[in-house]
Amino acid sequence: MARFRPDLSDEPAVRLDGVSLSYERTGEVLSEIDLVLRQGSFTFLTGPSGAGKSSLLKLMYLAHAPTRGGIRLFGRQTYDLKRKQLAALRRRIGVVFQEFRLLDHLTAFENVALPLRVAGQKADAYQNEVIDLLRWVGLGERVDAPIPSLSGGEQQRVAIARALINKPDLLIADEPTGNVDPEMGRKILRLFAELNKRVGTTILIATHDLELLREFDSPVLRLANGLLVRDVEYGGAE
Amino acid sequence: MTRRETPLLPATDAREAALFFVIGALCFLAALAALTTRGTYKAAEAWGAQIEGDLTVIMRSVDRRTAEDVADRVEVLANVFEARVLTREEVETLLEPSLGPGGMPEGLPIPMLMTVQADMAVGDPSPDIQRILAEMSVDGDVAGNAGYAENVRGALGVLRLVALSIVALLSATAIAVIAFATHAALLARRDIVDVLHLSGAEDRFIAGLFERRFWILALQAGLGGAVAALMVTALIVFTGSGSQGVEAQLLPRLSLDFWDIVILLVTPVAAGLAARMAARLTVLNSLKDTL
C-alpha cells in the first residue's frame, strides 16, 4: 500500500499538511497526514477499528487541535483563529455521528433547528426550512415526535437533517450507517450523494462497510495504523 | 403559528435533585451558624456589660438605716439602675461557702453590703458613690469587678473568635461543596455541552445556559435552607424567650432583627453565586479541551 499524497490544489474545502495527533493515554494515533478534499468532492474514509478514522474526522470538524501540522478549512488556517471565529467556522461544517448525538428532551424539529437556534435565529424565521428538510429526509410525518419515540434509522435521519440545516459547505459523517440496517444505510448514502450532486456540498464519510462503498464511484481513503493511504480496490477515483 | 421553544437544557433530573438537597442543607447550616454567632456576640456583649456594671459597696460601722440612706442617694445617680442594701440573711448566704452552714454568731460585727447596678456605657459611678460616702461620713469602699470582668472579657473574646471561625469554616465548606457538587452535576451533562459546541454555539452561550440553570437551582435551594433556618430560629426565639437564670444568660441570644434577616437573604445569594461561578468555570474548562 503506497502512502497517499494527493494534489494540493488552491482553496480546497479541507487541507491537512503533515498533521499528527497524539493522545496522552494512547500515544500517536495519526501520523503526518497530508490530505486535500476539493470543494464539491464526495469521499469515503475507511480503515479498521482503531485506525484513527474518528480522530481524523474530529480534527476536520474542529473538535480537536492537531499535535503537529496545519489544517486549512475553506482556505483559512485554523490554528490561530479565535474561539468565536472557530464557532463561526464550525457552523459551515455539518457533522453526522454514528451514535446520532441527539438531545432526547427535544423533538425532531427542535433537534434539527438546534444549529440555527444557537446562532440566535428566531423560530418563525426557520420553521418552514426545518420542516422542508425533515420532509426531504422522509420524516415529514414525524416533525414533532420526541426523539426516544423514533427508530434508529429515523434518529439518524434527524441527525442528518441537523447537520444539513445550516447548508454546510462540508458534511462529515462518522459511520452514519453503523447503527441502521443495510437498506436504511443505502438510503442514507444515496441521500448524501443526492446532496453532493444537487448542492455541491463537500462530503466525507467514514465507514467500514466495504459492501456499501462498491455502489459508489467515489474516492476511498484508507487509514491504517495512523497513516493515510489510498485504497485502489474500491472506488478508484482520486 | 410560531412553535413554543423547549429549553435547551432538560428538566431537573435525580442528580440535580440531590444537588438541590445538598445546597439547601448547607445553606440551612450556614445560616443557622451565622445567626447563632450573632447571638453569641450579643450574649457576650450583654453578659460582659452586666459584669462590668455590677458594683459592691462595703460600709463599715454603720447601721442599716444609714446604709439605706446612702443607697437612696446612690440610686438617683444618672448612671445607676439600682442600689440595694443586702439583708443579713443575704450576707450570711454569701459568706456560707467560707464559714459553713449554721449562720454567724450573734453580735459579730459584719459590714453592710450594697449592690449597685450601673450603666457603664454612660460612665463609672464609683467616684460619685465614694463622694456620697464621704459626704455622709461613712467609712466605706466601692469594689468593682474590673479584674474579674477583664478575665471574662478575654474568655468572651475567645468564644467570639471560635464562633466566627466556625461560621467562616462552615461558609467556606458550603461554598466548596456547592461548587464541587455543581461541577459533578454538570459533568454529567457533558453530552449536551458537546452537542451545542459542535452545533456552532459559542462558549459564552453554552456557559450562560448552565450558569442560569445552576444559579436558579442554588438560589431556590438556598432560599429553602434559609427559610428552614428562619423557622428554627423563630421557634427558639418564641419558645425560649421565657428562659431565666445564669444558663439562659450564657446561651446565644437569638433574635430576628434587621441584620438577621440580611444574613438569611445573603445566604441563598452566596450559594447561587457559588453554583453559578462553578458552572461557568466547569463549562469553560471542559470546552478548553476542545478546539
Report how far Cα B100 is from the mean position of its chain's Cα atoms. 41
Question: Is A205 found in the same domain as A138?
Answer: no
User: Nearest by CB to B202, which of A61, A84, A101?
Assistant: A84
Instruction: Name the closest residue on chain B to residue A144, using Cα atoms.
Output: B3
Question: Is B26 found in the same domain as B92?
Answer: no
Q: Give a three-class secondary structure readout of B78-113.
A: CCEEEEEECCHHHHHHHHHHHHCCCCCCCCCCCCEE
Question: Is B169 found in the same domain as B252?
Answer: yes
Instruction: Name the closest residue on chain A to residue B193, using Cα atoms.
Output: A103
Q: pLDDT digit string (tens) for A22-31?
A: 988 888 889 9
**CA nearest neighbour of A112 among A52, A165, A38, A186:** A165
Among candidate residues A167, A183, A201, the one where a domain is terminated: A167
Q: The domain containing residue B102 runs over which residues?
A: 63-137
Report yes or no: A85 at the B interface, CB cutoff 8 Å. Answer: no
In a domain, A237, yes or no: no
Q: If DSSP codes are grouped into helix, strand and coil, which group holds residue B252? A: coil
Distance between the two ends of chain A, CA-based, in angstroms? 15
| % of chain A surpassing 90 pLDDT | 43
Question: Is A112 found in the same domain as A60?
Answer: no
Whether residues A115 and B199 touch (CB distance < 8 A) is answered with yes
User: Nearest by CB to A127, which of B3, B194, B202?
Assistant: B3
Is residue A8 predicted with pLDDT exceeding 50?
A: no
For an interface test with B, give the residue of A25, A90, A93, A143 to mutate (most B CBs within 10 A).
A90
Question: Is A113 found in the same domain as A185?
Answer: no
Question: Is A133 found in the same domain as A25?
Answer: no
Q: Distance (Å) from the C-alpha of residue A234 to the closest C-alpha of chain B?
A: 31
Q: The domain containing residue A120 runs over which residues?
A: 102-167
User: Nearest by CB to A65, which of B8, B205, B291?
Assistant: B291
Q: Model pTM greater than 0.95?
A: no
Among candidate residues B100, B118, B137, the one where a domain is terminated: B137
Instruction: Name the closest residue on chain A to residue B191, using Cα atoms.
Output: A101
**How far is the C-alpha of B214 from the C-alpha of A121, rounded, in Å?**
25
Report yes or no: A43 at the B interface, CB cutoff 8 Å. Answer: no
| Mean pLDDT of the region A181-190 | 83
Question: Is A36 found in the same domain as A146?
Answer: no
Q: How many domains, in total, are found in chain B? A: 2
In a domain, A175, yes or no: yes
Question: Is B120 found in the same domain as B176?
Answer: no
- Domain of A71, CATH number, reads 3.40.50.300
Give the position of cell 476511498: A220
Question: Is B173 found in the same domain as B73?
Answer: no
Is residue B146 predicted with pLDDT exceeding 80?
A: no
Question: Is B235 found in the same domain as B205?
Answer: yes
Among candidate residues B137, B155, B172, the one where a domain is terminated: B137
Whether residues B203 and A103 touch (CB distance < 8 A) is answered with no
In a domain, A236, yes or no: no
Question: Is A162 found in the same domain as A44?
Answer: no
Whether residues A90 and B198 touch (CB distance < 8 A) is answered with yes
In a domain, B150, yes or no: no
User: Nearest by CB to A118, which of B3, B196, B291?
Assistant: B196
Task: Report the pLDDT value the prediction gives residue B272, as an integer from 0 to 100.
Answer: 93
Question: Is B283 found in the same domain as B169?
Answer: yes
Q: How many domains, in total, are found in chain A? A: 2
In a domain, B217, yes or no: yes
Q: With contacts defined as CB-CB under 8 Å, which chain A residues touch B201?
A: 87, 118-119
Question: Is A215 found in the same domain as A114?
Answer: no
Question: Is A186 found in the same domain as A154?
Answer: no
Among candidate residues A145, A167, A189, the one where a domain is terminated: A167
| % of chain A surpassing 70 pLDDT | 92
Q: pLDDT digit string (tens) for B177-205?
A: 888 888 887 777 888 888 998 888 888 89
